Amino acid sequence: MPILNPLHFDLHSHSTLSDGTLSPEALVRRAHAQGVDVLALTDHDVTDGLAEAAATAAEVGLRLVSGVEISVTWSGVTFHIVGLNIDPEHVGLQAGLARLRAIRTGRGEEIARRLEKHGIEGALAGAQAFATGPILSRTHFARFLVEAGYAKDMRKVFKKFLVHNRPGFVPGGWATLEEAVGWIRDAGGQAVIAHPARYRVSATRLRQFIETFKDCGGVGIEVVSGSHSANDVAGMAQYAKRYELLASCGSDYHGPEQSWQELGQPMPLPEGCVPVWKAWATDWEKNT
């Protein structure tokens, strides 16, 4: 029997401030229309959408969790750490995120240079035209490349150009795991491993990553993610239990055109999982 949630949680989503296609206001309105009670906005390496999202959430009566998704390099591989209930004003967190955004800008220039060597001109300006916020993402390059006819769709364009061993791939030197978890904790938030089944690492490496994450003070893992299969959910629920991590769920929504999963799908956690909101929900239920 899945845990029955009195509230409907979606704790991972993106807006135009990073690589989503809906403004924070439009995202919150859509989440509300889809029956989400509690939404976390978790833009990549930026929190600038939270104020607008919070204002709309107050208007429509949805609870907004202040979140962020931080890019991390661990053992040469990129991982994503979601921070929930962070104080977006925290100076240390903001300094860290500003550093990552600067790295993104430099990486974008290098991606464009490499694509140019491959015969693709104008990729930097093309990607920048799709970047509606302060971060430059591979997603923006992907949209440019699809629009310019270099690939048919987002899945194909990543495979052809933007992943490891492809012409437009540039590894990011992101935050260390210790830094990312530290910034989130210092800002009063809970650190959660994003979409853990999506990393291309062995089971042994993933377990080492989880152990290091816990040692750094991380507390949660996304058991349910828009990009997880039913098998992935079961496997990650096992890890949550084994490592005594709180379980989170989120769609990783990026917009109506490019979605792993729609906002507001029912996302029950498997039996035995302790939800990440367990510590928060008591207050909220009283007000509901």
Binding-site ranges for ligand AMP (CB under 6 A): 19, 44, 71, 137-139, 154-155, 158, 254
- Closer CB to Mn ion, residue 115 or residue 194? 194
DSSP 190: E
Distances (CA, A) of 139 to 18, 182, 209, 214, 269: 9, 27, 25, 30, 29
Q: Which two tokens stand for residue 77?
A: 């591989």
Minimal distance in Å, beta carbon 253 to ligand AMP? 10
**What is the rounded distance in angstroms from the CA atom of residue 116 to the CA atom of residue 100?**
24
Minimal distance in Å, beta carbon 128 to Mn ion? 17
- Closer CB to Mn ion, residue 12 or residue 32? 12
Minimal distance in Å, beta carbon 6 to Mn ion? 26
138 binds, among Mn ion, ligand AMP, none (CB under 5 to 8 A by kind): ligand AMP
| Site residues (vs Mn ion, CB under 5 A) | 19, 69, 80, 194, 252
CB contact set of 168 (below 8 Å; sequence gap of 6+):
111, 114, 115, 118, 120, 123, 138, 141, 145, 161, 162
Minimal distance in Å, beta carbon 43 to Mn ion? 8
43 binds, among ligand AMP, Mn ion, none (CB under 5 to 8 A by kind): none
232 binds, among Mn ion, ligand AMP, none (CB under 5 to 8 A by kind): none
How many CB atoms neighbour CB 48 within 10 A?
Answer: 16
63 binds, among Mn ion, ligand AMP, none (CB under 5 to 8 A by kind): none
71 binds, among ligand AMP, Mn ion, none (CB under 5 to 8 A by kind): ligand AMP
- Closer CB to Mn ion, residue 79 or residue 277? 79
- Closer CB to ligand AMP, residue 5 or residue 128? 128
**What is the rounded distance in angstroms from the CA atom of residue 185 to the CA atom of residue 53?**
22
**What is the rounded distance in angstroms from the CA atom of residue 127 to the CA atom of residue 125?**
6
CA atoms in the 13 A half-sphere facing the CB of 2: 13
The answer to whether residues 155 and 161 touch, using CB atoms and an 8 Å cutoff, is: no
* Residue sitting closest to Mn ion (CB): 80
Minimal distance in Å, beta carbon 44 to Mn ion? 6
Minimal distance in Å, beta carbon 61 to ligand AMP? 29
**What is the rounded distance in angstroms from the CA atom of residue 145 to the CA atom of residue 124?**
11
